[in-house]
Structure 1
Amino acid sequence: MAHTAVPDHEVLIIGGGLSGIGAAIMLDRAGFSDYLLIEEGDGFGGAWHWNTYPGVGVDIPSFAYQFSFEQVAGWSRIYAPGAELKAYAEHCVDKYDVRRRSRLCAAVVAADYLDSADLWEIRLDDGTTVTGRYVISATGVLTKPKKPEIDGVDDFAGTTMHTARWDDEVDLTGKQVAIIGTGASAVQIIPSIAPRVDSLTVFQRTPIWCLPKPDAPLPGALRTGLRMVPGSKAVARLASQLYVEVTFPLAAHFHGLLPAAKAGEQLGYLHLKRSVRDPQVRQQLTPQYSLGCKRPSFSNTYLRTFNRDNVHLETRSIEAITADGVRTVDGVERPVDVLILATGFKVFDKGNMPPYPVTGTAGRGLEEFWTQNRFQAYHGVSVPSFPNYFMILGPYGYNGSSYFNLIETQTNHVIRLLTEARTRGSTRVEVTAEANADYFEKVLGRRGNQVFFQGDCGGANSYYFDDNGDVPLRPSPTLETMWDARRFPLTDYRFESVAHRTEPNPVQ
C-alpha cells in the first residue's frame, strides 16, 4: 500500500486518560490543533474511568493533582474521591474541545513507522488505519489488570472481580469475601467494604507501609475563598506539591543524603502501634523493607480495620483457589462468596509498555530494543530508531511527584521539538543514540543515593523493579525535570525531512 507524505493528522495521541487529555490541550494551546486522540475505552479519564471500586480516591492532595492551567477549587476533600477526578477529566475534555477531536472505543493493535513518508501508521482493532506525522503514547502503565499466578484462579465458582474492573452490581452485603493483595487499591477497598460484609479475609504476601493521611472535608467557605481570592489556588497547589516532593521524590532519590525516609518509617511504626490492638496482627502488618522500596500508602482507616471481629488477616501462602474458596499451604480452605483480586497491574510485563507492538526504522520493535538494551528513553520521552514517537510515561521520565507534573513536563519537551521541526520544515525528529546513551549513563550514575539501591528492598516485592533489577524512575527533583524540558540541547535530536534525508542538522 503506497503512502504519501501527507498524514491524516499531524499528531496522534494514544490514550484518553489525563496524560492524553493534557497533551491534547497543551498541543492545541501551542498551535498544534490537528490531532486525533484515540482511546480504547468508552469514556475519558483513564484510571479514573476504569477504577470505580469502593473508596477509590487520589493518593496525593487534590490541589497537586490538577493541571497548572486548569486549577479548580471545588474538591470536596483534601484527597478527592475518584468520581471527582473522573468529573475533572470530563470537564477538561469539554472546556478545551478535546472531545470533538477524539475517537473512543478504538483500541490500537499496532504502530508502524513508514520510513519513506516520515509518518506513523496506526492499526485499530476494527481493521481501520490512521496515519500521523507524530505519535504521543499516553497509555500509562497501570492500566492492564494483572491476574495472580495461583492454581485454580479461573475455577472459582463464585464472583471474581479485579479492583480495576469493579462490578457495582455485585452486592457484598452479608457475603463472605476474600481479597488477595494489600497494595494501594486494597488499602482503600478494605475499610470501605468491611462494615457491610459478613466476613473479610485479607490474603497478604507483603505488608505495605501505611502512613497517616492528612485528609479532611474542605468547608464550603474555604472553597469559596479559593475561588474568590486571587492566587489562592496557586498557593494551595504549590503547598501540596511541596508536600508530595518531600514525601517521595526527595526521600526516595536522595535517601543517602536526607533523613526523611527514616523519619517516615518512625511515623509509620507509630501509626501502626496506635491503630492495631493485637500485637500478633500488628507484627504481621509491619513491613520488613525500607520505606520507599515500593509504593507506600496513606490511610487513617486501613490499619484500624484489622481490629474488627469480621476481618481476618491471612499471611500463609495460598496453595490454590478452589470452586468454593481459597486453600492455604496448611491445607485450610476458607469458604468464599466473592473473590477480589487486588493484585495490581502489568507494569514491565511484555506487551504492556506500551500495550501494542511498536515498529520503528528498519523493522525494529520497541519491546525488542528494551529487551536487548534494558528499559531506557531520553528524558523518558524518546528512543533512538523510533522517530516522531514520544512518550509521556517512558522509562526514566517519572520522578514520583504529582503525575500532572510529569504530563506537563513531557509535553513541554515534545512541543519544543515539534515547534523546532515546524520552523525547519522537518518531517522527522529522532533522538541521537549518543544523547540517549549519555542520559542513560547519567540516571544510572545517580543510583548511589536512591533508596532502591541503598535501602533494604529485598523483601518488598515491588513493581518498581524490572527484570534487570533496574528501577526506571527518574532520579531527579521536580524542578530539574521542569528545567530540562525547556532547556535540553536541541542538538540531541536529528531533524530531517522526506525531501532531504541527508540534510545536516543546523548548528544550535
Structure 2
Amino acid sequence: MEIIDTGVLVVGAGFGGIAVAVELRRAGIHDVVVLEASDDVGGVWRDNTYPGAGCDVPSPLYSFSFAPNPDWPRRYALQPDILEYLRRVARRCGLSTVVRFRSEVTSAEFDEGTGRWLVHTADGTRYRARVLVPATGQLSRPVYPAVPGVETFTGPSFHSARWDHGCDLTGKRVAVIGTGASAVQFIPFLQRQAAAVTVFQRTAPYVLPKADRVYTGRVAALLRAVPLLQKLDRLGFWLYTEFAQQCLTKWSLFAPLFTVQARRNLARSVQDERLRATLSPDHRLGCKRVLFSNDYYPALASPTVDVVAGDVVEVTPTGVRTADGTEYEVDVIVHGTGFAATEFLGSMSVRGVGGRTLSEAWRDGARAHLGITVPGFPNLFLVYGPNTNLGGGSIVHMLESQARYIREAVRWLRRHPDAALDVHPEAEQRWDDEVQARLTRSAWTRCRSWYRDARGRVVSIWPGRTFEYRRRTRTLRLADFQIRRSGEAANPPDTAVAS
C-alpha cells in the first residue's frame, strides 16, 4: 500500500490538535496532516454530549487567544456551544483540507535510517512524517468501575461520555456510580426526569458555586464593537485563575478561603444534617478536582435522590451492591467514573529509537521534558502530555504554549532537513525532578485522585502558573537536545530559539 508523506502529522482534532495545526499554518508551515479517529473535530466536546455538559472555566478564557468569540451565550459555555466554536475555528483557519476523519492511529515507529515516523491507521493507511505530534488528550478514554458483574446488568448501562440518548429515563430508577465533574452536571438532569436516583459516592467532592450568567444580545454587541473589553474580560478571569492555581501550591495560606466558600455553599444548599455530613469532603481542598455547580446540591437534597456513601463492590443483573451487602435494584446505570487520564496515548503503540516503546519508557510513570518531549523519541512532541494539566485555570492557555514551542521546533527542523531532535535524558530528568519536588509541597499529593497513577506518582498536574509555563516554553533550547543524523547523535551548540 502507498505511503502518504507529510512534514508534520498531528493525531487528534480536539483543542490541542487544532491549536498545533493552526499555529503551524499561521507560521507558513502547510505540510501538515491531522488524523482524527472520529468523523468530526472537537475531542471531548464532541464525545461528551450528556445532559448539562459544559465547561467550568469562563468562556472568554476557555477559547483560543487568536480566535476570540464575542457571541458566547453565557459565561460558562455548554457543550454544544463549545463544539460549534471549535468547528468554526477549524473552518475559518482552513483545516478542512488538513484533517482526515475516521483515521484512527494504531501504531507509530521511528525509522532511524530515514529519521521519519511511520504511522499506521486502523484502515490500513500508512503515513510517513518527519514530526509526530500526538494530541489525544488526557480525558479521551472512558473508565468503567473495576468491580465484578458490570457486564451482567440486564438493563441499559452506559458511561457519561457515551450517553445513550435513546434511553428514556422517565419514571425509571437510575443508579449513578461516581460523583466527579461529569456527574455533578448530569445528576440534576436525572433528578428532574427519573422517578428515583441513587448516587453512589466514594468520596465527597468540594463544590463551589458557579458564578454563571447569560450574555444578552446587548453584551454581545458591546463586545463586538469594543474588542478591548473582550481582552479585559479574559485578563480578569486569567488573573483570578492564576491566583487560584498558586493557592494550591505556594500560597496555601489562602486556600482556606475556598474551603470556607465550599462549606457555605453546602450549608446553604442542604438543610438535612445527615446528608450534609455525607456530602462533606474529608480531604484537603484541591487534592482532587474542585467542582462548580449551583444545582448539584439542591438535586441531591431532593426526596427522589438517595446518596449512598462507600464503595460499590458488585453490579448484579438487577442492580448495584455495596460493601455492607445491600443491593439496590435499579432500571438503568449511568457510570460517571471518569477517564484514563494517566494513559496519555490510549491504545496507540509508539516505538522510538532501538524499537523501545513509550510504555516501556514510562514503566515507572509518564514523564516528559516540559510535558512535550521524551528521550529516545526524536521529533515526537506531545500535546497535553505529562504534568501539563491544571488544578485551576484554562488548559487552552497551556495548549497554545505547547503549540508555539512545537512551531519553533518545526521551524528549526525545516532549516536542518537531515536532523532530528531528541531531548537529552539529563534535561528530561532535571525537569521531572523539579516538577515532582514542587508537587510534594502542593495539595495534589495529599490524597488519592485521578491526577496520580497506580504507583501514586502525580503525572497529570503542572505545579505552577500558566504564566510560568508560557515563559519556560517560549524558548526552544537546543542545548536540551541531541541532534540525530542518519541514526547517529551529535551534541548541539548551547543556543536557543525564541518563539
Q: Which TM-score bucket, shorter chain as reference?
A: over 0.9
Q: Residue 346 in 1 paired to residue 334 in 2?
A: no
Q: Is the 8 A contact 1:119 1:131 kept in 2?
A: yes
Q: Residue 494 in 1 paired to residue 477 in 2?
A: no
Paired AA for residue 154 in structure 1: E
Q: Residue 185 in 1 paired to residue 182 in 2?
A: yes
Q: Residue 61 in 1 paired to residue 49 in 2?
A: no
Q: 1:417–1:280: structure 2 CA closer, same or farther, 3 Å change rule? A: same
Q: Residue 478 in 1 paired to residue 475 in 2?
A: no
Match in the other structure for 2:248: 252
Q: CA deviation at 1:425?
A: 3.6
Match in the other structure for 1:12: 9
Q: Residue 433 in 1 paired to residue 425 in 2?
A: yes
Q: 2:266 aligns with which of 264, 272, 287?
A: 272
Match in the other structure for 1:358: 350
Q: Is the 8 A contact 2:482 2:490 kept in 1?
A: no
Q: Which runs of 4+ in 1 moved over 6 A?
A: none
Q: Deviations over 1:482-507 (max 9, x none)?
A: 11111352211223444x94555344
- Paired residues for 1:188-337 under 5 Å: 188-247=185-244, 249-254=245-250, 257-337=251-331
Unaligned stretches of 5+ in structure 2?
none
Which secondary structure state, in structure 2, belongs to the residue aligned with residue 11 of structure 1? strand
- In structure 1, how many angstroms separate the alpha carbons of the residues matched to 2:372 and 2:310? 42
Q: CA deviation at 1:395?
A: 1.3
Q: 1:156 aligns with which of 153, 158, 161?
A: 153
Q: CA deviation at 1:399?
A: 4.0
TM-score (norm 2): 0.95
Q: CA deviation at 1:235?
A: 1.1
Q: Residue 444 in 1 paired to residue 436 in 2?
A: yes
Q: Residue 392 in 1 paired to residue 383 in 2?
A: yes
Q: CA deviation at 1:467?
A: 2.5
Q: Residue 379 in 1 paired to residue 366 in 2?
A: no
Paired AA for residue 189 in structure 1: F
- Paired residues for 1:14-163 under 5 Å: 14-163=11-160
- In structure 1, how many angstroms separate the alpha carbons of the residues matched to 2:368 and 2:194? 46
Q: Residue 505 in 1 paired to residue 492 in 2?
A: yes
Which secondary structure state, in structure 2, belongs to the residue aligned with residue 139 of structure 1? coil
Q: CA deviation at 1:148?
A: 0.6
- In structure 1, how many angstroms separate the alpha carbons of the residues matched to 2:118 and 2:25? 22
Q: CA deviation at 1:97?
A: 1.1
Q: Is the 8 A contact 1:426 1:495 kept in 2?
A: no
Paired AA for residue 487 in structure 1: T
Q: Is the 8 A contact 1:9 1:132 kept in 2?
A: yes
Match in the other structure for 2:405: 413
Q: 1:464 aligns with which of 435, 451, 461?
A: 451
- In structure 2, how many angstroms separate the alpha carbons of the residues matched to 1:162 and 1:177? 13
Q: Is the 8 A contact 1:183 1:343 kept in 2?
A: yes
Which secondary structure state, in structure 2, belongs to the residue aligned with residue 27 of structure 1? helix
Which secondary structure state, in structure 2, belongs to the residue aligned with residue 10 of structure 1? strand
Match in the other structure for 1:367: 359
Q: Deviations over 1:212-250 (max 9, x none)?
A: 111111111111111111311111111122222222x21
Q: CA deviation at 1:359?
A: 0.3
Q: Deviations over 1:306-347 (max 9, x none)?
A: 221111111143232221222233333222111100011112
Q: Is the 8 A contact 2:141 2:346 kept in 1?
A: no
- In structure 2, how many angstroms separate the alpha carbons of the residues matched to 1:284 and 1:348? 29
Q: Deviations over 1:451-493 (max 9, x none)?
A: 124xxx33xx410112232212222211111111113522112
Q: Is the 8 A contact 1:180 1:341 kept in 2?
A: yes
Q: Deviations over 1:257-309 (max 9, x none)?
A: 34232111111111100110110000000000001101110001101112211
Q: CA deviation at 1:32?
A: 1.4
Q: Is the 8 A contact 2:478 2:494 kept in 1?
A: no
Size of the alignment, in residue pairs?
Answer: 493
- In structure 1, how many angstroms separate the alpha carbons of the residues matched to 2:227 and 2:126? 47
- In structure 2, how many angstroms separate the alpha carbons of the residues matched to 1:379 and 1:355? 23
- In structure 1, how many angstroms separate the alpha carbons of the residues matched to 2:332 and 2:70? 39
Q: Is the 8 A contact 1:496 1:505 kept in 2?
A: no
Q: 1:12–1:311: structure 2 CA closer, same or farther, 3 Å change rule? A: same
TM-score (norm 1): 0.93
Paired AA for residue 379 in structure 1: L
- In structure 1, how many angstroms separate the alpha carbons of the residues matched to 2:489 and 2:302? 71
RMSD, matched Cα: 1.8
Which secondary structure state, in structure 1, belongs to the residue aligned with residue 426 of structure 2? helix
Q: Is the 8 A contact 1:133 1:427 kept in 2?
A: no
Q: 1:285–1:503: structure 2 CA closer, same or farther, 3 Å change rule? A: closer
Q: CA deviation at 1:354?
A: 4.2
Q: Is the 8 A contact 1:425 1:497 kept in 2?
A: no
Q: CA deviation at 1:2?
A: 12
- In structure 1, how many angstroms separate the alpha carbons of the residues matched to 2:302 and 2:397? 39
Which secondary structure state, in structure 2, belongs to the residue aligned with residue 434 of structure 1? helix
Unaligned stretches of 5+ in structure 1?
none
Moved more, 471-480 or 272-281: 471-480
Paired AA for residue 249 in structure 2: H
Paired AA for residue 360 in structure 2: E
- In structure 1, how many angstroms separate the alpha carbons of the residues matched to 2:469 and 2:171? 50
Which secondary structure state, in structure 2, belongs to the residue aligned with residue 339 of structure 1? strand
